Amino acid sequence: MKKAVVLACTLAFVSALCMAQTPSVAPLSAQALAMILGQPAATGSCPLPQGEAVFAARRPALPKSCSATANCWDGSTVSCTYGGAGGTCTATDSNCDAGVRGNVNCNGTVTSCPQCACGSAFCCQCDATGDCFACCRCDGGGAAHCALVCG
C-alpha cells in the first residue's frame, strides 16, 4: 500500500510538471532584431551605403595600352601595339639554334618573325653539327624511327 501511495504521488507530480506552462517571452523589438541580424533598423534615417561602392573605388587602374618588339634572326624586328584598357603584350626574340622563331603577342594577336633559315631546331642542329638524329628528325622522321636509324 505504501508503494502504491508513493507511485501515485510520483505520477501526480510528473503530470503536474508536464502540464505546467512556462511563462512566454515578449517578442523582440525591430531594433533588437536588427542588432542581432546585423541589418539597419527602420528608424527613419538614410540607409547605409553598400559595400560594393567601396570595392569599386579600390580597384587598381588598368593599363591604358601596351606594345612589344621582338628581334628576329635575320636582323629585322616585329612589333605590335594594343590600345585597349587592360591589355597584355609580350615579346620573344628569335633563337634558331634552340628552335625559337620569335614573336610578339599583343592581347592575343600574335605576329611572328620569319621562319629560321634552317627551318626547325632539328634542321638548325643538323646544319650546324651534322648530328644523325637531328638530320633524321629534320627530314620528318619520328623520334623512335630516328633512334633506330641513328643507333
For the cut 70, the answer to whether the pLDDT of residue 4 exceeds it is no
The pLDDT > 90 percentage for the chain reads 26
For the cut 90, the answer to whether the pLDDT of residue 120 exceeds it is no
- Alpha carbons within 13 angstroms on the beta-carbon side of residue 119 total 12
Q: What global pTM score does this model have?
A: 0.43
pLDDT at 96: 85
- Alpha carbons within 13 angstroms on the beta-carbon side of residue 58 total 5
**57-94 burial, b for 16+ CB within 10 Å, e for fewer?**
eeeeeeeeebebebbbbeeeebebebeeeebebebbbb
pLDDT in tens, 27-66: 767 777 677 776 554 555 555 555 555 455 566 665 578 9
Confidence of residue 141 (pLDDT cuts 50, 70, 90): confident
For the cut 70, the answer to whether the pLDDT of residue 104 exceeds it is yes
